[in-house]
Amino acid sequence: MAHQHKSHDEVPVRLFQNALLERLTQVSFQTFLLVWMVVLAVVLAVDAGASRSFESFVLNTAGGLASWFVVEYLIHRFVFHLRLDSDMGRKLIFLLHGNHHLQPNHPLRNLMPLSVSIPLAAGVWGLAVLCAGRATGGSIAGGFILGYVCYDIVHYACHQLPMRVSVLRAIKKHHIQHHCVEPEANFAITAIFLDRLFGTKLHRGP
């Protein structure tokens, strides 16, 4: 399957004719980092304050963090690479992820736009609190959101930074193989051992 690679200097692939909607599909790393550092600080502080003890806060947050990496793999494999027959379905998948494979290295499209990630995070936190209460559900959701932010930073780095540390270099190679060698393999981005566990690790290529 051929993939078109474009330089960083080119404009992003256009997704919407409306200028405002189009702008909402892009985010710079600096803006992403600033917004999410503030959001995480507030969420984790609120969760810590609502927890019964510091130990329970740490355990619940760690559980939420760990759960993110499994969800990340499942979403990438079964949602972002879902093959749909309808024209509307194909357009939806292209909007969600296909545009990233078409133009994988554009820095404004290597992170989930805030217009999507902030509402989703709020929904996850609210649902977790509704199901498990402020003390437990809030901390689990906080860890889950922390995992998402770590994932998106790593994903951005895979496309934009040299990643010279051996562990990070292995993560980058794993993900670039997904783009350049076989898009139906190497679905994990942060917890790359999951591809070996689920039998989707690529065993060939550079």
**Encoded amino acid at 131, one letter:** C
Distance CA 140, CA 93 (A): 29
Task: Kindly report the number of other CB atoms within 10 A of residue 119's CB atom.
Answer: 10
The single residue listed with the structure tokens 């770590």 is 150
DSSP sequence for 96-121: IIIHHHHSTT-GGGSS--HHHHHHHH
pLDDT per residue rounded down to tens, the chain (206 residues): 334 444 444 778 899 989 999 999 999 999 999 999 999 999 999 999 999 999 999 999 999 999 999 999 999 999 999 999 999 999 999 999 999 999 999 999 999 999 999 999 999 999 999 999 999 999 999 999 999 999 999 999 999 999 989 999 999 999 999 999 999 999 999 999 999 999 999 986 55
Distance CA 67, CA 184 (A): 22
Domain layout of the chain by residue ranges: 22-100+108-159
The single residue listed with the structure tokens 């078409």 is 102
